[in-house]
């Protein structure tokens, strides 16, 4: 009975979750996103330095 329920249960992902999953697989995209995030944060914090 438990196996039957496991086979019937499936995961539905939203469009955002699908995009994020594909984005995480791209190593260059993750590096670029990290660099972009660092630049944005440093731009926001620059007046306080």
In a domain, 1, yes or no: no
List C-alpha distances in Å: 25 to 11, 19, 43.
19, 10, 28
In a domain, 33, yes or no: yes
List C-alpha distances in Å: 49 to 24, 29, 31, 43, 45.
32, 29, 25, 10, 7
Which of these, 11, 12, 29, lies nearest to 20 by C-alpha position? Answer: 29
* The pLDDT of residue 3: 65
Q: What is d(CA 30, CA 22) in angstroms, rounded to the nearest whole number?
A: 11
Asked whether residue 1 carries a pLDDT value surpassing 60, the answer given is no
What does the pLDDT look like over 3-44, one tens digit per residue?
Answer: 666 666 677 889 999 999 999 999 999 999 999 999 999 999
* The pLDDT of residue 6: 64
In a domain, 32, yes or no: yes
In a domain, 6, yes or no: no
Q: How many domains does the chain have?
A: 1
- Provide the residue range defining the domain that includes 21: 14-48
């Amino acid at each position: 009975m438990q196996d039957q329920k496991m086979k019937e249960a499936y995961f539905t992902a939203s469009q955002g979750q699908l995009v994020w999953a594909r984005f995480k697989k791209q190593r260059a995209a993750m590096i670029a996103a990290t660099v972009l995030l660092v630049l944005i944060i440093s731009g926001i914090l620059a007046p306080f330095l």
